[in-house]
Amino acid sequence: MLELKNISYTVTENGRKDILKNINLKIDDRFVVITGPNGSGKSTLAKIIAGIIKPTSGQILLDGEDITEMSITERANVGVSFAFQQPVRFKGITVKDLINMAAGKKITFTEACNYLSEVGLCARDYINREVNGSLSGGELKRIEIAMILARRTKLSIFDEPEAGIDLWSFNSLTRVFESMHESIQGNILIISHQERILDIADKIVLLKNGEISQIGTKEEIMPQILGTAIGLCPQIKE
């Protein structure tokens, strides 16, 4: 379980701006989506949880352990995974290399292929491919999810996984997340605007102006989100 206690983040360049204000949140459901208008602090909160940036104040607990001062590497070692909006490309490294690194050990060819199959990729077409510009954004994101599956961490964070991909890739990603909901051992936290991702969440957290506006099930939150003009659900490109 992840617990955030009074998390705030303030920047002072060009004047003081409070990005996050006293966030108190427990993430103990299997599949949680954080949503809200642009500029509400969603991605900042994800990066604070992952250890990419440090909060101005507050405390972060993972299964009761204080991880507030831990680096991103230390958090990875205690069970936190983070998937970027734009996955990183690694020239000279193959897909199998990345899955081995994610698993923290040398895994068999069959095991690596199974992880790729779980995210809807034909293993023989991808296992030995270099992670470079020849891969599309949707392919890279599914490979990144395969890496997280191989890690089997306590908490897996995805920052706007729908960003920059086409409709076909988005549909595939949605199916992958639905499958992860059943198979992964740990909590899944997704930052997203997309209605179809919100619709498969166990809990939705709505941020506005750096504060938690509402928390509830999709049945409680979705009608209010869809009934307001706050721009939460932009269209995926055809």
Tell me the percentage of the chain whose pLDDT exceeds 90.
34
Q: What is the mean pLDDT of the chain?
A: 84
CB 184 within 8 A of CB 152: yes
First to last CA, the chain: 37
Q: How far apart are CA 39 and CA 208, in angstroms?
A: 8
Please report, as a single letter, which amino acid is at residue 200.
Answer: I
Q: Residues of 141-150 as b/e, b for ≥16 C-beta within 10 angstroms?
A: bbbbbbbbbb
This prediction's pTM: 0.81
**What does the block give as tokens for 31?**
């599949």
Q: How far apart are CA 150 and CA 117, in angstroms?
A: 12
Query: To which H or E segment does residue 187 belong?
Result: strand 187-191
Residue 42 has pLDDT above 90, yes or no: yes
Long-range contacts of 215-218 (CB under 8 A, 24+ apart): 215/25
Confidence of residue 238 (pLDDT cuts 50, 70, 90): very low
CB 206 within 8 A of CB 230: no
Residue 59: how many other CB atoms lie within 10 Å: 14
**What does the block give as tokens for 226?**
């869809």
- Tens-place pLDDT, residues 153-190: 889 898 888 776 666 667 777 777 777 766 666 788 99
Distance, C-alpha 202 to centroid of its chain:
15
Which one of 7-11, 115-119, 146-150 scores highest in mean pLDDT?
A: 7-11
Per DSSP, 235 falls in state P
Q: What is the pLDDT of residue 133?
A: 76
β-pairing, 80-83 vs 155-159, is: parallel
